[in-house]
């Protein structure tokens, strides 16, 4: 949600421009500050940032994004499984990547993933694939003797050939896994290129989704759960597969919520309803809102302002269902400045509201937060600070 002074908003941030009556009201009775999701100058991914903000050191626990994506897609992960994130892409007859995502709204993605799921397998290695959102899917290799020490087949740009997976450790497992990935990539291309759904796309003048690009190989690391760490049970309302996967990894209840799409059309009523219901039996609620980030990536300041306003409505609805005695925190997992179009290392605005807050201002903005009474915190410290505010105190020493 954080941003910089945008050239296209007359050197204001989307938070400064947006009309946010509910956040404004909350700010009157809350403390403000800035949060470095990981550390000053470190640009986080959403995955490393979520680890840190929930109190798990990403330098210890981060082992690639594939596992989060797989969990978020509802796939089960067993010890030894190697998981990847994937895109359906379009390549030409020389395997040169023409489009890394063959259309952002690829209606055929679910069916194509399911088709591959039925038809790909190697000797004693099982291949499990499931679409997550849009053109994205998770892919899991399951079998003995696999390794996550392999390079991406996603070249991360267009105009070059699909990359060959290479081992990045000298182990037999890594060599074997790279070979499997390369054969898998070839087989997937052949079968996708002839798939009826793709032939139809071609007829309509659309790019065929005729290749899979894999990245972020990882295995599931052994993490303590949220409940073990904080002694409370929690629930997550999110429409984003990766975040759902993360939340499940740490033991939060994170169901699919009908209408929570992880994009600008997401149904905030459904999220708030599910969240408030969950609070009847949980101590902790996490509501994730993704669309502000997407607007940043798309370098679309007007959309970001709109999405901040949509988020403000979510906050308003949430506040209506709360007692006023809760500890509330509003923050982001990173900035995606609209003029930059990618994640940055700027600290994110932070609001903590509880009956003990001072009331730091009139409007929730980056500039106001820079001068707030909370000062600067780091992601790893945040949950502990909130637990303290909630009087759930665990003392170090006596």
Among 133, 343, 361, 379, binds a copy of itself (CB under 8 A): 343
Which residue stretches of 194-287 are H helix? 196-203, 226-230, 241-249, 268-278
Interface with a copy of itself in residues 281-300 (CB under 8 A): none
Q: Estimate to the nearest angstrom the gap between the alpha carbon of 101 and the chain centroid.
A: 18
Shortest Å, Cβ 17 to a copy of itself? 16
Query: What is the contact mask toward a copy of itself in residues 214 to 253, using x (rule: CB under 8 A)?
Result: -xx-------------------------------------
Q: Estimate to the nearest angstrom the gap between the alpha carbon of 230 and the chain centroid.
A: 22
Does 15 interact with a copy of itself (rule: CB under 8 A)?
no
Tokens 């990894």 identify what position?
Answer: 249
Among 34, 181, 217, 314, binds a copy of itself (CB under 8 A): 34
Q: Which of 155, 207, 159 is nearest to 185 (CA)?
A: 155
Segment lying near a copy of itself (by CB under 8 A), choices 70-78, 99-107, 311-319, 365-373: 365-373
CA angle 376, 370, 346 (to 5 degrees): 75
- H or E element that contains 306: helix 301-320
Does 208 interact with a copy of itself (rule: CB under 8 A)?
no
Based on CB atoms, which residue is closest to a copy of itself, 44 or 239? 44
3 state SS of 19: coil
Interface with a copy of itself in residues 48-77 (CB under 8 A): 48-49, 58, 62, 65
Among 39, 60, 160, 232, binds a copy of itself (CB under 8 A): 39
**DSSP track, 98-131:** EETTS-SS-TTHHHHHHHHHHH-EETTEEEEEEE
Tokens 């007007």 identify what position?
Answer: 302
Segment lying near a copy of itself (by CB under 8 A), choices 33-41, 103-111, 120-128, 226-234: 33-41
Q: How far apart are the first and last CA of the chain?
A: 40
Segment lying near a copy of itself (by CB under 8 A), choices 105-113, 124-132, 287-295, 384-392: 384-392
Interface with a copy of itself in residues 78-107 (CB under 8 A): 85
Q: Are 35 and 378 in contact (CB under 8 A)?
A: yes
In the complex, the residues that contact a copy of itself under the rule CB under 8 A are 4-5, 34, 38-49, 58, 62, 65, 85, 215-216, 340, 342-346, 356, 358, 367, 370-371, 373, 375-378, 381-388, 391, 393-398
């Amino acid at each position: 949600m954080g941003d910089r002074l945008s050239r296209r908003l007359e050197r204001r941030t989307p938070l400064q421009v947006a009309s946010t009556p509910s956040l404004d009201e909350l700010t009157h009775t809350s403390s403000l500050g800035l949060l470095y999701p990981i550390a000053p100058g470190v640009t986080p991914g959403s995955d490393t940032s979520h680890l840190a903000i929930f109190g798990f050191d990403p330098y210890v626990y981060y082992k690639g994004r594939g596992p989060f994506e797989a969990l978020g897609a509802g796939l089960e992960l067993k010890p030894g499984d190697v998981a990847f994130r994937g895109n359906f892409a379009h390549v030409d007859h020389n395997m040169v990547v023409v489009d890394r995502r063959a259309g952002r709204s690829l209606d055929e993605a679910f069916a194509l993933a399911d088709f591959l799921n039925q038809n790909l397998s190697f000797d004693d290695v099982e291949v499990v694939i499931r679409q997550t959102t849009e053109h994205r899917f998770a892919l899991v290799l399951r079998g003995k003797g696999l390794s996550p020490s392999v390079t991406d087949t996603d070249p991360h740009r267009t105009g070059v050939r699909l990359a060959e997976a290479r081992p990045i450790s000298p182990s037999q497992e890594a060599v074997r896994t790279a070979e499997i990935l390369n054969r898998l990539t070839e087989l997937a291309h052949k079968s996708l290129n002839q798939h009826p759904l793709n032939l139809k796309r071609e007829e309509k003048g659309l790019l065929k989704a005729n290749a899979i690009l894999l990245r972020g190989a990882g295995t599931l690391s052994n993490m303590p759960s949220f409940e073990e760490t904080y002694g409370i049970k929690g629930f997550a309302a999110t429409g984003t597969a990766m975040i759902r996967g993360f939340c499940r990894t740490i033991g939060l209840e994170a169901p699919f919520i009908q209408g929570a799409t992880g994009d600008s059309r997401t149904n905030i009523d459904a999220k708030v309803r599910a969240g408030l219901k969950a609070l009847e039996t949980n101590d902790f609620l996490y509501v994730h809102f993704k669309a502000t980030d997407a607007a940043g990536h798309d370098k679309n300041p007007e959309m970001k302002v709109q999405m901040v306003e949509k988020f403000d409505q979510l906050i308003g609805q949430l506040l209506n269902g709360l007692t006023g005695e809760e500890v509330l925190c509003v923050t982001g997992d990173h900035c995606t400045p609209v003029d930059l179009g990618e994640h940055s290392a700027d600290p994110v605005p932070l609001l903590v509201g509880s009956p003990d807050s001072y009331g730091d201002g009139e409007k929730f903005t980056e500039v106001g937060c820079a001068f707030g009474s909370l000062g600067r915190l780091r992601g790893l410290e945040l949950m502990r600070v909130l637990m303290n505010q909630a009087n759930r105190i665990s003392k170090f020493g006596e």
